[in-house]
């Protein structure tokens, strides 16, 4: 049965994935039989998203542009229960990681994914990774166009693209269709932002060379306005330039951001435009029929405008303070009157950010079936989204999410923390992330206080690779290892909001693990004392600078 | 206070090929999940030999390597680095169970 309202595999997709499953099954058999060495096998398993981490194999499953059907989410729950330890970790790239996969069962897990049109191809390696999107796509009140149509076109183009399977380094693309950037497009290798020009035409701003990691950079505008039908040819031109000139001699200087930094965006533009000139009228130019054929898959569900003021909702607001707070923080405006977008918080107090048990995944799938046209989205902030909920159903959705532990009214608040898996799982990490997030979460658990503090994004990474996006946290926390001791470097002022995208500035010397909560508390206290009317934490920081925060933190810790 | 991670005592560790679990080489040349059964090399020369033995027994494991450990007065050993402590002991927080709907 096809999944409604977004792309379903055709025969070509199914055959491709089925063939890959059988190839991988044979590769695993040969490895277990000793016919392949680890050196021979490693690139093959990584091509299928299977990493070997500290304790076990980890399978990274692609969730294209963060969109899932209830059927797919149930299957992910089933796979996690059958082949893993019954839970999964939703990541900052809108994917799902299962951290306890057995190699001998990995082909069966991947075959189970294929049953619901999913795979783990290109979730590792120096190729184009899963294209991410605004998690409110297709539903947001502020949206110009659904970016997932373009994500799907990129997915089809980039899957096993022979020319771009061995790029200098991995390549991440994000697309947003709204002026309020919820996809962090300025910190991706290429970010595409749909906007409408003075003539009323919708096209892309093409942003290149953003990224986090050890050398964080904010992307630069490569093309101010690109007609939509030219997107694929232009991407091909940009990737071709990167493939040709990107550095292969130094792993740490291989990302496109370094190329753009070294040659300058003007030279990069010149090269891309020259390359583009030779292919702009090629088969990569998207015909209206092609675009329409993909767009049809993303036809919105048949929502009819409904009443926006619902007495039951208003009554419950007065009766249940947590519900009232939840409406404020976890419910966003929908494009259709009488509907709303609900974010299920995967950050209940003290929980590992982004983790969900199999039972919770099934519970969210049930809620999506009952109230959100069977659709779920994964946000890069590690939450799940129900994109199409009628306002009149909000009390029922709130109660159902509360039963799952996912109704914490904390979206955008201090406990809605992004955290990478850190040293508890990851072979690259230097320090733990999750236990730090848990301690902060427990310390600030009181919802009234969180709402008083207001919007404040804490982002934690366990190493310089920055999977926890610490560079763009209002408060960024980076774990470092100093002679075997975990220390945490704090930065302030990072932001991914459009027009305000900024990298955080390091506050001062790193603090010991046991002092991180006190340091964050000191930052919050400084803000609360200094804030002007209506200022968020990051606004106050921009106005008063780092010094008052620094003074308080280092007097405290 | 920072610890000396150079450690004179070492054990050989790896991840088991079939399931990725952390294993240690015992004195009989078998891979075990129990750190307390690991064969301990007490000087560099023996450590080099231990690593060679581990590599020779690596058909069922991935990429053996040496782990610096310390030993207390009762003979209990523990890795020196936090990373290896976590490898040997598991997660430092309680993961949510498959059927749990609330994080405890």
Q: Do A401 and A361 touch, CB atoms closer than 8 A?
A: no
pLDDT digits (tens, 9 = 90+) for B71-89: 999 999 999 999 999 999 9
Taking a C-beta distance cutoff of 8 angstroms, is the pair A455, A467 a contact?
A: no
Q: Which residues contact A115 (CB under 8 A, 6 or more apart)?
A: A75
**What rounded mean pLDDT belongs to chain B?**
92
The CA distance from A72 to A250, in Å, is 39
In DSSP terms, A104 is beta-bridged to none
Do A168 and A242 touch, CB atoms closer than 8 A?
yes
Burial class of residue B66, CB neighbours in 10 A (0-12, 13-18, 19+): middle
Query: In 3-state terms, what secondary structure has residue A62?
Result: coil
Q: Give the H/E segment covering residue A345.
A: none
Q: Where are the beta strands (DSSP E) in A40-146?
A: 50-52, 57-61, 67-69, 87-90, 96-101, 132-133
Contact B15 A87 (CB under 8 A): no
How many angstroms separate the CA atoms of A155 and A166, rounded? Answer: 17
B22 close contact with A: CB closer than 8 A: yes
Cα separation of A382 and A470, whole Å?
A: 14
Domain definitions of chain A by residue range: 11-114, 147-297, 311-404, 418-556
CATH of domain A11-114: 3.90.480.20
Q: State the alpha helices, DSSP H only, in A410-536.
A: 434-443, 447-453, 516-530
Q: Which CATH number fits domain A147-297: 3.30.413.10, 3.20.20.140, 3.40.50.300, 3.40.50.450?
A: 3.30.413.10
Alpha helices of A246-308 — where are they, by DSSP H? 256-263, 265-277, 288-297
Average pLDDT of the residues in B42-47: 96
Q: Residue A249 burial by CB count (10 A; 0-12/13-18/19+): exposed, middle or buried?
A: exposed
As a whole number of angstroms, the distance between CA A476 and CA A466 comes to 10
* B64 CA: distance to closest CA in chain A (Å): 12
* Sign, Cα dihedral of A24, A27, A31, A33: positive
Longest dimension (CA), chain A: 68
E strands in A309-466: 331-333, 339-344, 355-357, 375-378, 384-390, 418-419, 458-461
Handedness of CA A277, A281, A285, A287 (dihedral sign): positive
Residue ranges of A 400-439 with Cβ closer than 8 A to chain B: 403-405, 423-425, 431-432, 434-435, 438
B2–A contact, CB cutoff 8 A:
yes
- The three-state secondary structure class of A34 is coil
A145-149 contacts, C-beta under 8 A, 24 or more apart: A145/A177, A145/A194, A145/A202, A146/A177, A146/A295, A146/A298, A146/A300, A147/A65, A147/A175, A147/A176, A147/A177, A147/A183, A147/A192, A147/A194, A148/A6, A148/A7, A148/A65, A148/A67, A148/A298, A149/A291, A149/A294, A149/A295, A149/A297, A149/A298
Q: Do A54 and B83 touch (CB under 8 A)?
A: yes
Sign of CA dihedral A157, A377, A473, A92: negative
DSSP A188: S
Q: Mutating which of B19, B57, B78 best tests the A interface, going by the most A Cβ atoms within 10 A?
A: B19
- B15 CB neighbours in chain A (<8 A) are 52, 55-56
CA geometry: angle A88, A91, A92, nearest 5 deg = 170
Of B2, B22, B91, the CB nearest to A482: B2
Domain map of chain B by residue range? Answer: 9-89
A:79-108 residues touching chain B, CB 8 A cutoff: 80-81, 85-87, 100-104
Please choose, from the candidates A365, A459, A462, A444, the residue with its C-alpha nearest in 3D space to the C-alpha of residue A408: A444
| pLDDT tens over chain A, length 557 residues | 445 577 889 999 999 999 999 999 999 999 999 999 999 999 999 999 999 999 999 999 999 999 999 999 999 999 999 999 999 999 999 999 999 999 999 999 999 999 999 999 999 999 999 999 999 999 999 999 999 999 999 999 999 999 999 999 999 999 999 999 999 999 999 999 999 999 999 999 999 999 999 999 999 999 999 999 999 999 999 999 999 999 999 999 999 999 999 999 999 999 999 999 999 888 899 999 999 999 999 999 999 999 999 999 999 999 999 999 999 999 999 999 999 999 999 999 999 999 999 999 999 999 999 999 999 999 999 999 999 999 999 999 999 999 999 999 999 999 999 999 999 999 999 999 999 999 999 999 999 999 999 999 999 999 999 999 999 999 999 999 998 899 999 999 999 987 889 999 999 999 999 999 999 999 999 999 999 999 999 999 999 999 999 999 999 99
The answer to whether A301 touches A373, Cβ cutoff 8 Å, is yes
Residues of chain B with C-beta less than 8 angstroms from the C-beta of A355: 95-96, 103
What's the CATH number for A418-556? 3.30.413.10
Q: Which tokens go with B94?
A: 């309680």
Are the folds of A11-114 and A311-404 the same?
A: yes
Residue A422 — left, alpha, or beta (φ > 0 → left; ψ -120 to 50 → alpha)? Answer: left
Residue from A176, A150, A268, A142 nearest A217 by CA = A268
Hey, which bits of B1-104 come out as E strands? 9-16, 22-25, 31-32, 61-71, 77-79
Distance, in Å, from the CA atom of A334 to the CA atom of A304, rounded to the nearest integer, reads 12
What ipTM goes with this model?
0.93
Rounded to the nearest angstrom, the gap between the alpha carbon of residue A210 and the centroid of all alpha carbons in its chain is 15
Which chain A residues touch B20 with a CB distance below 8 Å? 52-53, 55-57, 100-103
Q: Is A37 on the interface with B (CB under 8 A)?
A: no
| Chain A residues touching residue B22 (CB < 8 angstroms) | 54-55
What would you measure as the largest C-alpha separation in chain B, in angstroms?
52
Instruction: Characterize A52-72 residue by residue with b for buried, 16 or more Cβ atoms within 10 angstroms of its Cβ, and e for exposed.
Output: bbbbbbbbbbbbbbbbbbbbb
B28 touches chain A (CB under 8 A): no
A-B CB pairs within 8 A amount to: 113
- Are A357 and B18 an interchain contact pair (Cβ–Cβ within 8 Å)? no
For the record, the structure tokens of A70 come out as 């209830």
Confirm if A203 and A195 have CB atoms less than 8 A apart.
Answer: yes
The answer to whether residues A269 and A223 touch, using CB atoms and an 8 Å cutoff, is yes
Chain A residue numbers touching B86 (CB-CB < 8 A): 54, 423-424
Q: Residues A323-362, buried b or exposed e (16+ Cβ, 10 A)?
A: bbbbbebbbbebbbebbbbbbbbbbbbbbbbbbbbbbbbb
Mind telling me how many Å the CA of B85 is from chain A's nearest CA? 10
pLDDT tops 90 at residue B2: no
Band (pLDDT 50/70/90 cuts) for residue B1 is: very low
Q: What is the architecture, at CATH level 2, of domain A311-404?
A: Alpha-Beta Complex (3.90)
Which pair of tokens denotes residue A74? 């149930």
């Amino acid at each position: 049965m096809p999944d409604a309202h977004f792309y379903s595999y055709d025969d070509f997709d199914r055959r491709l994935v089925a063939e890959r499953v059988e190839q991988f099954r044979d590769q695993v058999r040969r490895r277990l039989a000793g016919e392949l060495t680890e050196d021979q096998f490693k690139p093959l398993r990584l091509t299928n998203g299977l990493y070997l981490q500290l304790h076990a194999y980890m399978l990274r499953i692609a969730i294209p542009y963060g969109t899932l059907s209830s059927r797919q989410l149930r299957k992910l729950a089933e796979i996690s229960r059958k082949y893993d330890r019954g839970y999964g970790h939703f990541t900052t790239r809108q994917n799902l990681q299962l951290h306890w996969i057995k190699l001998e069962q990995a082909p069966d897990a991947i075959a189970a994914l294929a049953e619901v049109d999913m795979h783990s191809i290109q979730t590792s390696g120096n190729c184009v990774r899963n294209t991410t999107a605004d998690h409110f796509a297709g539903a947001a009140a502020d949206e110009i166009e659904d970016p997932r149509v373009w994500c799907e076109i990129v997915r089809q183009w980039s899957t096993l693209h022979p020319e771009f399977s061995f790029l200098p380094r991995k390549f991440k693309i994000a697309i947003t269709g709204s002026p309020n950037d919820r996809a962090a497009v300025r910190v991706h290798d290429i970010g595409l932002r749909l906007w409408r020009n003075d003539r009323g035409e919708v096209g892309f701003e093409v942003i290149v060379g953003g990224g986090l990691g050890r050398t964080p950079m904010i992307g630069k505008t490569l093309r101010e306005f690109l007609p939509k039908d030219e997107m694929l040819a232009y991407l091909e031109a940009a990737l071709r330039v990167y493939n040709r000139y990107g550095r292969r001699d130094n792993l740490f200087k291989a990302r496109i951001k370094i190329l753009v930094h070294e040659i300058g965006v003007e030279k990069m533009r010149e090269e891309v435009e020259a390359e583009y000139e030779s292919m702009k009228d090629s088969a990569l130019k998207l015909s209206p029929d092609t675009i329409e054929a993909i767009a049809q898959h993303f036809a919105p569900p048949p929502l009819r405008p409904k009443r926006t003021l619902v007495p039951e909702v208003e009554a419950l607001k007065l009766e249940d303070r947590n519900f009232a707070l939840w409406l404020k923080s976890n419910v966003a405006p929908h494009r259709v009157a009488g509907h709303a977008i609900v974010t299920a918080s995967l950050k209940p107090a003290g929980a590992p950010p982004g983790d969900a048990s199999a039972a919770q995944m099934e519970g969210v799938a049930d809620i999506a079936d009952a109230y959100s046209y069977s659709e779920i989205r994964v946000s890069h902030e590690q939450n799940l989204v129900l994109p199409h909920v009628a306002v009149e159903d909000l009390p029922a959705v709130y109660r159902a999410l509360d039963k799952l532990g996912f109704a914490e009214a904390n979206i955008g608040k201090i406990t809605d923390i992004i955290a990478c898996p850190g040293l508890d799982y990851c072979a690259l990490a230097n320090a733990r992330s999750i236990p730090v997030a848990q301690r902060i979460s427990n310390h600030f658990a009181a919802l009234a206080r969180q709402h008083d503090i207001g919007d404040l994004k804490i982002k934690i990474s366990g190493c310089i690779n920055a999977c926890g996006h610490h560079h763009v946290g209002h408060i960024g926390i980076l774990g470092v290892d100093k002679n075997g001791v975990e220390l945490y470097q704090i930065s302030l002022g990072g932001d991914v909001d459009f027009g305000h995208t900024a990298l955080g500035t390091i506050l001062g010397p790193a603090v010991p693990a046991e002092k991180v909560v006190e340091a964050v508390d000191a930052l919050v206290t400084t803000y609360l004392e200094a804030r002007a009317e209506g200022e968020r934490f990051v606004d106050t920081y921009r106005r008063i600078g780092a010094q008052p925060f620094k003074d308080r933190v280092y007097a405290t810790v | 206070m920072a610890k000396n991670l150079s450690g004179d005592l070492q054990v050989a560790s790896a991840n088991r090929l079939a399931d990725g679990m952390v294993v240690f080489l015992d004195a009989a040349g078998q891979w075990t999940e129990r750190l307390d059964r690991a064969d301990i090399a007490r000087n560099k020369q023996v450590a080099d030999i231990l690593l060679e033995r581990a590599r020779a027994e690596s058909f069922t494991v991935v990429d053996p390597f040496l782990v610096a450990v310390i030993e207390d007065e009762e003979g209990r050993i523990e890795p020196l680095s936090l990373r290896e402590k976590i490898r040997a002991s598991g997660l430092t927080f309680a993961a949510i169970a498959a059927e749990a709907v609330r994080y405890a």
